[in-house]
Amino acid sequence: MSEPMRPADPASVGGFRLLRRLGAGGMGVVYLGRSGAGALAAVKVIRAESAADDEFRARFAREAQLAARVESPWVVPVLGADADAPEPWLATAFVPGPSLGEAVAEHGPLPGSAVRVLGALLGEALGAVHGAGLVHRDVKPGNVLLALNGPRLIDFGIARAADDTALTASGLVIGTPGFLSPEQARGDQAGPAGDVFALGCVLAYAATGRPPFGTGTPDALLYRTVHDEPDLDGVAGELREVLDACLAKDPQDRPAPEELRRLSEDATEDAVPEGATASPSAWLPDPVARTVAARAAESLALPAVEPTVVDEPGDAASAARRPLTSRRRLLAVGGALLLASGGSGAALWAAGRDDPGAKPVPAAEPTYVLGVQVTRGGADAALARACERAARLAAAEHNADPRRAYSVRVRVLDDGGTVDRATSVAHEFAADRDVFAVLGPTGEVTLRAASRVYAAAKLTHVSSTTGQNDYYVWSPDVTFQTGAPHQAEGTAIALSALVTGRMGRAGIVIDRSGGSAMHDQGGVLVTQWRDTFGGEVVPRVVAEGTGDGAAAVRDLLSRDLDAFVYLGPLEATADAARQLARAGFTGRRWMSHLLYGSDFPRLAGAAGEGWYAVTPAVDPAQLTTGEAGRLTAAWRKEYGSTPEPYATEAYDSTRMLLQEFARTVPSGGGRPARPALAQRLAKATYHGVARTYTFNDYHQYAITNETLGGETYVHQVRDGRFRQIGPIVPKQGSQ
């Protein structure tokens, strides 16, 4: 990642004044430099000890010479190199990016016309690389930067001359799993055809938002690359034909890179509407073009020469994270996010995107960034969408206020639901000095992973969709949770039972396949139902991955129950619903609060009718208060629907962050210190659409007996949908 210059860093190399560090690797350091003429450059300086080896210097010199011979507008040009300097260096033009990986992660798949332009131009670029006698060997979304007039292929860091067999005799796999050819995956020598295969992967990724061989461990990716067919679902027509050819397992069957040119012949036709003038950026969709333009503008604002930075006392961590939009940084981002964006939700996303938060703002106005960390794929896709939309709407409302002192931009990153990617995403936000707070993560595991990073970076974040407070052990300052604890939702079921009838005898299944949240909720439910409210319980805990839920339900059906609770994952709960329906059970039935908004009504069909979900998640369209009506109307205007489940809580959380952040911004302007927001938030009271938020000692939404009754909502499945009946204990005049 990029950092300010350190005292030991050289002030200049080969006529380039060095401005800051873009990154450091095993071989040396990459700096952002400025030539005497003022052009920005990425200057790679090899450490003396790495260059001690004569063979290395020879290879470096050859690489630089060959790279300098590449002539293509779509390949980043070499500006200079010196293999004989005590510390050899290589300078290439600096492209502010973003990388293709970052663009897709942030904005979703590119439209077909853009993918075809991308394919044609990158094919041309590879043709020029191969023509110069080089094989790139690491063509991937992170190595493709986007500029307004076309892509740029970068990073010859591991490029080798095609006739240099000695360097690959080791059989080491060189490249990035998931974006390298079957022959490279097997450790065989990679020729130009390997680059064509990798380009096919890159284009598939750009078109679908998914790496064509999925995500996972390098070993799994390599295996799938060799043995499986690529995932090209959703790619059709000529692009499909070209990708099929590029991704042929046999290198002999792949086209020459120049042959991809045919992709562009009709691409420009749909890229430019008839009668319109083609602007230079017409090949990119608007949101991506805006990002590209913003990056370019930021790099223009870099100082001619920046003095070595001395850490601010007491906040060394934030001093090390000075702003940077640099090629190396974008490289890193591209690499991380590329893997992060494998979710199937990505395509869906692009289709329904609306981006009210990204309207251009006057250049003089300060802009702060609200990060949104979500898991777009899998079961949490809907949750992610609600959070992203809520953040964008809240930011747009802020930006529409003429009295604002600054504008707010929303930046969304997908953490793929895994520890590694959640950690990477958090590092990415932490390193962006403009990010003042983050909404998310959306899942318990990603929250635990990311909160460690945010704690170290003192970056405040609020998770509105989780209910476990483990984070407090390692992140007692900056992590907040506006989602209610799962335990409280156990009490909520018992309380709703008490309010709606006699307690009676409840069969309660805790299905461990649903994760530890099921036990959080179920354990409390059992004790509350029995010990606090005086009912009877027959509890059953079902082992994970056994399918024993059905046997537990069968057993409970023989126990003369008045009520039934199944706390488990979606499919198992729907199965239980069908089992109860077949048995003619007519007592009250509850599912886990986590299934509110899920596909349960459709999956369970008629058997799901009448089931309850009790949750703090509100449907504001069913409330009559002014705030709920205002949000519902704004949402409908922006997104064409009423606010979806969990949208209101994400919206409240974003507004609370914005409100408290505003109070930390110094009146004379300037950037507030990051820890200030968390300190305010810990003491804040925020009146949301349907809930009042304060935090307890563990930075968890402070639920009280009153809010548990009055601000927790009973939803019932009716006519195949969740219908909000009202709060457990209706407040006078609220309904």
Partner 1 sequence: MGGRRPVLLAAAGALLLAGCTSEGTPGEGTATSAGAGPSGRSGASPAPSASAVNDAYTLAESAAPRTRAQAAAFVRGLTVRPDFFGPGYRKRDPYETGPGTWTVLGEDCVWRREPLAGTVLASLTRSFVRPDTDGKGPVFVSLTVTVHTSVVGARRDMAVSLEEPLRCPRQQLNATERVQGMTSRGDPYDEQRTATSDDDLAEFGEYVVDGDGKPRRFDWFKHRLGPVTVAATVRHAVGADEAEKTKVTQDALGGVTFVTADIDRLGAEQAKKAGVSGDAAEGAGDE
In angstroms, give the least distance from the CB of 542 to partner 1: 6
β-pair partners for 590: 565, 612
**Minimum distance from CB of 372 to partner 1 (Å)?**
18
Q: Among 419, 550, 684, 725, which residue interacts with partner 1 (rule: CB under 8 A)?
A: 419
CB of 202 to partner 1, least distance (A): 20
Binding region for partner 1 (CB under 8 A) out of 38-46, 364-372, 406-414, 536-544: 536-544
Residue with tokens 């790619």: 235
* Residue 469 found at the interface with partner 1 (CB under 8 A): yes
CB count within 10 Å of CB 400 equals 11
Comparing CB distances to partner 1, the nearer of 558 and 735 is 558
> Which residues, 2 to 41, sit near partner 1 by CB under 8 A?
3, 23-25
Closer of 72 and 468 to partner 1 (Cβ): 468
Total residues at interface with partner 1 (CB under 8 A): 75
Does residue 376 touch partner 1 according to CB under 8 A? Answer: no
69 is an interface residue for partner 1 by CB under 8 A: no
User: Interacting stretch for partner 1, rule CB under 8 A, among 268-276, 509-517, 555-563, 674-682?
Assistant: 509-517
Whether 688 contacts 656, CB under 8 Å: yes
Give the interface segment with partner 1, choosing from 6-14, 144-152, 297-305, 469-477 (CB under 8 A). 469-477
Task: Give the strands of the sheet with 612-615, arranged side by side.
Answer: 536-542, 505-511, 563-567, 588-591, 612-615, 713-718, 721-727
382 lies in the binding site for partner 1 (CB under 8 A): no
Distance CA 67, CA 88 (A): 15
Closest CB to partner 1 among residues 418, 664? 418
Helices 626-639 & 647-662, crossing angle to 10 degrees? 100
Walk across the sheet containing 12-13 and list its strands: 12-13, 16-24, 28-34, 40-46, 89-93, 78-82
Between CA 443 and CA 440 the distance in angstroms is 8
* SS3 (DSSP) at 465: coil
Stretch that binds partner 1, among 193-201, 203-211, 302-310, 525-533 (CB under 8 A): 525-533
Task: List the one residue from 449, 493, 570, 595 that touches partner 1 (CB under 8 A).
Answer: 449
Closest to 562 measured CA to CA, from 601, 507, 521, 485? 507
The Cα 83–Cα 442 span in angstroms is 49
- Scanning 255-263, 272-280, 534-542, 624-632 for contacts with partner 1 by CB under 8 A, the matching segment is 534-542
Find the shortest distance in angstroms from Cβ 245 to partner 1.
Answer: 31
Contact 440, 461 (CB under 8 A): yes
Asked whether position 336 contacts partner 1 by CB under 8 A, the answer is yes
Minimum CB–partner distance for residue 313 and partner 1 (Å): 22
138 is known as an active-site residue: yes
Task: Indicate whether 327 belongs to the interface with partner 1 (CB under 8 A).
Answer: no
Residue in 44, 137, 448, 715 binding partner 1, rule: CB under 8 A: 448
**How far apart (Å, rounded) are the C-alpha atoms in residues 483 and 500?**
25
The window from 5-13, 33-41, 341-349, 703-711 that contacts partner 1 (CB under 8 A) reads: 703-711
Q: Which amino acid is at 189?
A: Q
Report the nearest approach of partner 1 to the CB of residue 147 (Å): 22
- Nearer to partner 1 by Cβ, of 117 and 682: the residue is 682
Q: Which is nearer to partner 1, 646 or 701 (CB)?
A: 701
* CB of residue 109 to partner 1, shortest distance in Å: 25
Q: Using the minimum distance from each CB to partner 1, give the nearer residue, 188 or 536.
A: 536
Q: How far apart are CA 699 and CA 681, in angstroms?
A: 9
Q: Which of 729, 716, 711 is nearest to 482 (CA)?
A: 711
Q: Work out whether 548 is an interface residue with partner 1 (CB under 8 A).
A: yes
Q: How far apart are CA 629 and CA 626, in angstroms?
A: 5
How far is residue 732's CA from residue 735's CA, in Å, rounded to a whole number? Answer: 8
Q: Is 44 annotated as a binding residue?
A: yes
Give the one residue of 292, 337, 410, 431 binding partner 1; rule: CB under 8 A: 431
Q: Cα(584)–Cα(292) distance, rounded to whole angstroms?
A: 60
Q: Which of 516/586 has CB closer to partner 1?
A: 516
| Helix or strand run (H / E) with residue 649 | helix 647-662
Question: What amino acid is encoded at 700 in this protein?
Answer: Q
Quick one: CA torsion of 430, 433, 439, 440, rounded to 10 degrees?
Answer: -10
Residue 148 sits in the site that holds partner 1 (CB under 8 A): no
82 lies in the binding site for partner 1 (CB under 8 A):
no
- The β-bridge partners of 373 are 413
User: Are 716 and 699 within 8 A, CB to CB?
Assistant: no
Catalytic residue among 9, 53, 84, 138: 138
- Please tell me the number of Cα atoms within 13 Å of 251 on its side-chain side: 16
Based on the shown chain and the rule CB under 8 A, indicate whether residue 526 belongs to the binding site for partner 1: yes
Query: Segment contacting partner 1 (CB under 8 A): 153-161, 539-547, 606-614, 722-730?
Result: 539-547
* Residue 47 binds partner 1 (CB under 8 A): no
Does residue 370 touch partner 1 according to CB under 8 A? Answer: no
The stretch among 80-88, 347-355, 357-365, 692-700 that binds partner 1 (CB under 8 A) is 692-700
Q: Is 453 in the site for partner 1 (CB under 8 A)?
A: yes
Element counts in the chain: helices (H) and strands (E): 24, 24
**Residue in 380, 414, 520, 575 binding partner 1, rule: CB under 8 A:** 520
Alpha helices in 481-527 (DSSP H): 486-500, 516-527
**And the tokens for 301?**
């604002």
Does the footprint of partner 1 cover residue 619 (CB under 8 A)?
no
Q: Cis before residue 441, ω within 30 degrees of 0?
A: yes
Site for partner 1 (CB under 8 A): which residue of 308, 500, 586, 704?
A: 704
Quote the CA–CA distance of 418 and 257 in Å, as a whole number. Answer: 35
**Nearer CB in complex with partner 1: 290/691:** 691
Shortest reach from residue 518's CB to partner 1, in Å: 10
> Nearer to partner 1 by C-beta: 336 or 656?
336
Q: Does 524 participate in binding partner 1 (rule CB under 8 A)?
A: yes
Say if residues 610 and 721 touch (Cβ distance below 8 Å): no
**Of the residues 71, 286, 544, 555, which one makes contact with partner 1 according to CB under 8 A:** 544
Q: Whole-number minimum distance, CB 643 to partner 1, in Å?
A: 24
> Nearer Cβ to partner 1, position 272 or 456?
456
Instruction: Give the footprint of partner 1 on residues 484-503 (CB under 8 A).
Output: 484-485, 487-488, 490-491
Calculate the dihedral angle through the C-alpha atoms of 508, 514, 516, 519, rounding to the nearest 10 degrees. 0
- Give the nearest distance from C-beta 695 to partner 1 in angstroms: 11
Q: CB under 8 Å, gap of 24 or more: what pairs does 177-180 form?
A: 177/218, 177/221, 177/222, 177/225, 178/211, 178/213, 178/214, 178/215, 178/221, 178/225, 178/339, 179/138, 179/139, 179/140, 179/141, 179/205, 179/211, 180/137, 180/138, 180/225
- CB of 408 or CB of 525, closer to partner 1: 525
> Is 86 an interacting residue with respect to partner 1 (CB under 8 A)?
no
Residue among 182 and 539 whose Cβ is closer to partner 1: 539
Q: Tokens 């898991």, residue?
A: 375
> What's the min distance (Å) between Cβ of 4 and partner 1?
12
HSE of 371, CA atoms in CB hemisphere, 13 A: 30
**Is residue 700 close enough to count as binding partner 1 by CB under 8 A?**
yes
Q: CA of 146: how far to CAs of 40, 151, 281, 414, 434, in Å?
A: 16, 5, 10, 20, 22
Q: Mark 214-243 with x for binding to partner 1 (rule: CB under 8 A) and - for no binding.
A: ---xx-------------------------
Q: Could you list the residues known to form a binding site, using ranges.
A: 44
Active site residues: 138
Q: Could you list the residues known to form a binding site for ATP, using ranges.
A: 44
